Amino acid sequence: MVFLPASDRNLILTGYTGPNQPAIGRQVAEVLGLPFVNVEGQIEDRAGNSIEEIKTLYGESRLKTLESDVVHEAVLYRGAVIRISGQTLLHGDHLERLRATGPIICLVAAVDAVLQRLHLALGARYHNPDERALALGNLKREWSARKREGVYELDATYMNTDQVVANIVVLWQELVAVGEVR
């Protein structure tokens, strides 16, 4: 089932509930019939390297420059689903600029649920303390947007992917309908 877009407001997704977060954004965009913009994916495509490789090869300042360029382009979209990491969202004025284009929904889940999902995704690598520490560090950075003004949380602890997508769609439609997004 495809919903008609309620407005030209964007839906900005951030947060972390487990591996493969961009897939949730893609599914939401598909359900709503909106274009999908993956900020981190565009940064990687533009540089031809992963985010970690960009940091290693060119340094943090080059990564921040690429992030700013991609976010500058993303705020020009209307009626799109934009997936952005919490760390990128909170850099500079990105939060304010994106918030002006539509509601920001931060996906969250109980830490034990996230760890269980990571265990399933990482397999044997999950038992490596370094891998787990890296994953938890990423989780902390992703959730850094929580409790910020204009950021709405959706607890996905007990939801499967289809339920998460459906709840995001409903929340976005409610926020746009009542005009809570300024």
**CATH code (residue 83):** 3.40.50.300
Using one digit for the tens of pLDDT, what is the confidence trace for 129-172? 887 787 777 777 777 778 888 899 999 999 999 999 999 999 99
How far apart, in whole angstroms, are the C-alpha atoms of residue 16 and residue 86? 9
> Does residue 17 sit within a domain?
yes
How far apart, in whole angstroms, are the C-alpha atoms of residue 32 and residue 28? 6
> Does residue 153 sit within a domain?
yes
Half-sphere exposure of 44 (CA within 13 A, CB side): 11
Tokens of 57: 């090869």
> Does residue 120 sit within a domain?
yes
The 10 Å Cβ neighbour count of residue 168 is: 24
How far apart, in whole angstroms, are the C-alpha atoms of residue 149 and residue 145? 9
How far apart, in whole angstroms, are the C-alpha atoms of residue 104 and residue 57? 31
SS3 14: strand
> Bridge partners of 108?
155
> Does residue 119 sit within a domain?
yes
Domain boundaries, position 63 = 11-167
Using one digit for the tens of pLDDT, what is the confidence trace for 86-110? 889 989 999 999 999 999 999 988 8
Beta strands at 11-15 and 104-108: parallel, antiparallel or unpaired:
parallel
Structurally, the chain folds into a number of domains equal to 1
> Does residue 3 sit within a domain?
no
Using one digit for the tens of pLDDT, what is the confidence trace for 2-16? 444 457 899 999 987
pLDDT at 1: 42
